[in-house]
Structure 1
Amino acid sequence: MTALPVITPDMSEEDMDRMLTNAVTASNFLKAISHEGRLMILCHLVSGEKSVSELEALLSTRQAAVSQQLSRLRLEGLVTPRRDGKTIYYRLADDRPRKMLELVYELFCKDD
């Protein structure tokens, strides 16, 4: 595991700028997953690619609401779309959401 950075009085401006950039990136990621609908979409996509209509059924939510949440996840680079005819499928863009979901599970869902 990587050691957390420590802010010190002698930290260079370049290191502070890098830390701020990383904080902005992390904050945007956390905002993107802070909605229960988006979080549930990511949970479903961990098991593999799903169409918008599959997600609609799994979430018992209207297509417009699912599409709105997918749009935000796509904007943040967390999911990637693929079109097959009229059907659009989504998958996780990388391993960040999976790692985050494992942490959320460990913190909030796993029995002691």
Structure 2
Amino acid sequence: MRKKSSPIDLSVMQASAEKACALLKVLANPDRLLLMCQLSQGELCVSDLEEQLGIRQPTLSQQLGVLRDNALVETRREGKSIFYSVASKEAIAVMTVLYDQFCAQ
């Protein structure tokens, strides 16, 4: 929460709430959340993601497409391989909080 100083403009708060909700909706899918967790550790190609997470290729492609369409990941092609990495600093911040709350020992 914010310190009490000047009030936040309601239109700014509404726009921010819409952006936050959009991000949370994308992350609210277990496969996409796992993909973002794995990609937060560094760039990976599709075959590595499939092997590490056990998500089958059709589902993996569909969920990576959703992440790409929402600008949470970006791609890089190297020959026939496509590499994915996290493109959203907001998503990384949310992933850090989720990790601290649910995964850290």
TM-score, normalising length from structure 2? 0.86
Q: Which residue is 1:59 aligned to?
A: 53
**Equivalent of 2:38 in 22, 32, 44:** 44
Separation in structure 1 between the aligned mates of residue 43 and residue 3 of structure 2, nearest angstrom: 33
Q: State yes or no: 1:94 paired with 2:84.
A: no
Could you give the per-residue CA deviations for residues 7-65 of structure 1, whole angstroms, max 9, x where no partner exists? x7xx7xxx222111111110000001001111111111112110111111111121111
The total of aligned residue pairs comes to 104
**Aligned with 1:56: secondary structure?**
helix
Backbone CA RMSD of aligned residues: 2.1
Separation in structure 2 between the aligned mates of residue 61 and residue 102 of structure 1, nearest angstrom: 22
Amino acid at match of 2:53: L
Which consecutive residues of structure 2, in runs of 5 or more, have no partner in the other structure? none
Separation in structure 2 between the aligned mates of residue 4 and residue 65 of structure 1, nearest angstrom: 43
Question: Does the aligned pair in 1 maintain the 2:23–2:91 contact within 8 Å?
Answer: no
Q: Which residue is 1:23 aligned to?
A: 17
Bigger Rg, structure 1 or 2: 1
Which consecutive residues of structure 1, in runs of 5 or more, have no partner in the other structure? none
Identity %: 36
After TM superposition, what 4+ stretches of structure 1 lie above 4 angstroms from structure 2? none
TM-score, normalising length from structure 1? 0.82
